[in-house]
Structure formats: C-alpha cells, structure tokens
C-alpha cells in the first residue's frame, strides 16, 4: 500500500489523477530499475511516499540520488514513490527482489492502488533473456512493446508511427505444434503476470522491454530509457538523448567500489 511522506506533519496523499505511473519489473540485468534511476535523477523528481509491502526483500540504504553531503545520509527503502506534477508523472522504484510466491499478491496490491489513485496509465520497463529468443525475435531491434486492449485504442496508432515492434508470441510447444502461440517473457519477473492482470482488469498498461544478458547492463538501461523517451518525450530528443540523462551518484557503487563513509 502507498504511504505518503510525512512532510511537516502533513500526511495527505498526493493527487495522481490522470498521471502516468512508471515502474520497473525486477528482471534480467535489472535494466528496468537502472532506467528508472536515470528518469528520477535526470528529472530531479521529488520523493512523495513509500510502497509498503511484505512481498519484497526488506532493505535500507543511503539516498541513491544524493547531490551533496547534506542529503547523502537520507535513508531509502525497497520501494519508493517519486512524483513530477509538471509532467503528470509518478514513478515507483523497486530496489530489491521479490520473496518467493509473492508475485501475485504484489500485482494485486499494485493494481488496486493504480485504480484507487486514478492513474491514467501504467508503463512497465522490463527485460528478457536474449539467449531465449526465437528465430523471429532475432531479427531487427532488440526492443519490444506490449499494450493492453484499453491502451491500444488510445496509443496504438502512435506506436505504428514510431515503427515500434510488438512483442511476438511464440509456439507453446516448439517442434511439436506451431499453431498454439503464447506470450513468453523469460527472465521478465512480474512482467507477464502484471500485463495479463491489467488486460483482465481493464487497466491501460504498456510494457517496454529489451532483450539482454546479465553483465554490465548500463548500456541496456540507456537504450531502454531512450526508447521510453521516443514516446513520452520526458527530455528533449532533438539532440543526442543519451548525453542528457543524469547518472545518479549511487551508480559509483554498482561494481563494488566500497561502502560510503556516511553510511556509518
């Protein structure tokens, strides 16, 4: 459930009516989470609350978007909510993996919050194992999208204008029957479940994903966030967008550079 920040005793929940909710799937390479980091850091989004749930592994750490020593010791937890009213954008960043068998309760709680907060649509940033692509998926761009039927009516034409490629369905029984096709997103975490639940509940959701492998996935994050920007235009795209994204201070620790002294 969403818990607003206590700012000077004011615990009133912010108004997200008509906002776009952006969140990551905890998926292969953590690409969605890294892309969300770039959005929050670049747009200097304000933390407005937390998403309290027992479905994620508990964690606490320093402010991942610290810009000075004064705010570096602020604490962050496993699921936090950031907002930018000027762009009608709200972001849920997830920083820890899911507890076993907790995917479905999390999706139910999340979609219930989406409906109660009157968010206009949800955009899920995800990734999938590159090595498990079928022959058709090996061709062309490594980026794919999915739209629920309710969102397809609103933005399907825009995706065609952008010349984006929809995620292909694959054979349910490869080598036996190619007629039965299913949506298959290996390594995608909650992606398929959240998408199918949104379809059944009439929620407008888009999934943007990239095929990738585990390793240094920072380049994948830039590719995915640029893909998102083609549609939502979060930053100017006339010049090279990759040079405009602001890398958060926490990325200095991605490969074990040691713990910051301020943590102690």
Confidence at residue 135, expressed as pLDDT on a 0 to 100 scale: 83
Q: Is the pLDDT confidence value at 40 over 90?
A: yes
Structure-model confidence comparison of residues 173 and 57, the more confident one: 57
Which carries the bigger pLDDT value, residue 145 or residue 264?
A: 145
How many whole angstroms separate alpha carbon 197 and alpha carbon 190?
A: 11
Average pLDDT, the chain: 89
The closest of 23, 52, 48, 17 to 35, measured between CA atoms, is 23
pLDDT value, residue 175: 65
Instruction: Give 93-144 pLDDT, tens digit per residue.
Output: 999 999 989 999 999 999 999 999 999 999 999 999 999 998 888 888 999 9
Return the pLDDT at 257.
59
Q: What per-residue confidence (pLDDT) applies to 46?
A: 93
Contacts of 206 (CB under 8 A, 6+ apart): 121, 122, 123, 124, 145, 146, 147, 148, 151, 155
Q: What is the pLDDT of residue 7?
A: 60
pLDDT in tens, 198-234: 999 999 999 999 999 999 999 999 999 999 999 999 9
The single-letter DSSP state of residue 104 is: H
Of residues 193 and 139, more confidence is placed in: 193
pLDDT of residue 243: 77
In the prediction, which pLDDT does 129 show?
Answer: 96
Please name which of 127, 128, 116 lies closest in space to residue 21, comparing C-alpha atoms. 116
Give the count of alpha carbons within 13 A of 156, CB side only: 8
Rounded Cα distance between 37 and 228, Å, is: 13
* Residue-level pLDDT at 69: 77
Residue 10 per-residue DSSP state? B
At 3-22, the pLDDT tens digits run 888 765 555 678 899 999 99
Domain ranges within the chain, ordered by starting residue: 15-250
Q: Check residue 94 and give its pLDDT.
A: 96
More confident residue, 161 or 5: 161
CA distance 186 to 207: 14
pLDDT in tens, 52-96: 999 999 999 888 998 877 777 788 999 999 999 999 999 999 999
- The answer to whether the predicted template modeling score (pTM) of the entire model surpasses 0.85 is yes
* 46, two tokens: 């304000």
The number of C-alpha atoms within 13 Å of 94 and in the hemisphere containing its C-beta is: 27
pLDDT at 24 exceeding the cut of 80: yes
Per CATH, the number for 15-250 is 3.40.50.10900
Q: With DSSP H G I counted as helix, E B as strand and the rest as coil, what are the percentages for the chain, rounded to 5?
A: 35, 25, 40
How many other C-beta atoms are found inside a 10 Å radius of the C-beta of residue 240? 8
Q: Centre a 10 Å sphere on the Cβ of residue 167 and count the other Cβ atoms it contains.
A: 22
Strand order in the sheet with 205-212: 2-4, 46-51, 79-84, 89-94, 20-24, 121-129, 205-212, 143-147
Position 18 scores a pLDDT of: 94
Could you give the CA distance from residue 235 to residue 35 in angstroms, rounded to a whole number?
Answer: 14
pLDDT at 264 over 70: no
Give the span between the Cα atoms of 71 and 75, in whole angstroms: 9
The rounded distance, in Å, linking the Cα atoms of 11 and 2 is: 11
């Amino acid at each position: 459930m969403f818990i607003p920040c206590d700012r000077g005793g004011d615990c009133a929940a912010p108004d997200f009516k008509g906002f776009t909710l952006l969140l990551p799937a905890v998926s292969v390479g953590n690409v969605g989470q890294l892309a969300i980091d770039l959005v929050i850091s670049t747009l200097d989004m304000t933390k407005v609350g937390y998403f309290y749930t027992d479905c994620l592994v508990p964690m606490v750490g320093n402010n991942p978007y610290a810009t000075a020593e004064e705010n570096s010791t602020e604490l962050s937890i496993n699921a936090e909510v950031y907002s930018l009213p000027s762009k009608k954008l709200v972001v849920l960043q997830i920083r820890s993996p899911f507890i076993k068998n907790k995917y479905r309760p999390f999706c139910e709680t999340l979609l219930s919050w989406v409906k109660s907060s009157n968010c206009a649509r949800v955009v899920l940033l995800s990734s999938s194992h590159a090595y498990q692509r079928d022959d058709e998926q090996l061709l062309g761009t490594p980026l794919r999208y999915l739209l629920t039927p309710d969102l397809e009516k609103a933005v399907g034409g825009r995706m065609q204008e952008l010349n984006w490629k929809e995620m292909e369905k694959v054979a349910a029984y490869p080598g036996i029957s190619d007629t039965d096709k299913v949506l298959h997103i290996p390594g995608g975490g909650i992606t398929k479940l959240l998408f199918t639940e949104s379809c059944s509940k009439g929620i407008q959701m888009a999934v943007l994903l990239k095929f990738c492998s585990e390793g240094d996935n920072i380049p994948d994050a830039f590719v995915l966030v640029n893909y998102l920007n083609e549609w939502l235009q979060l930053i100017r795209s006339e010049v090279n967008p990759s040079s405009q994204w602001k890398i958060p201070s926490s990325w200095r620790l991605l490969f074990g550079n040691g713990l910051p002294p301020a943590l102690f």
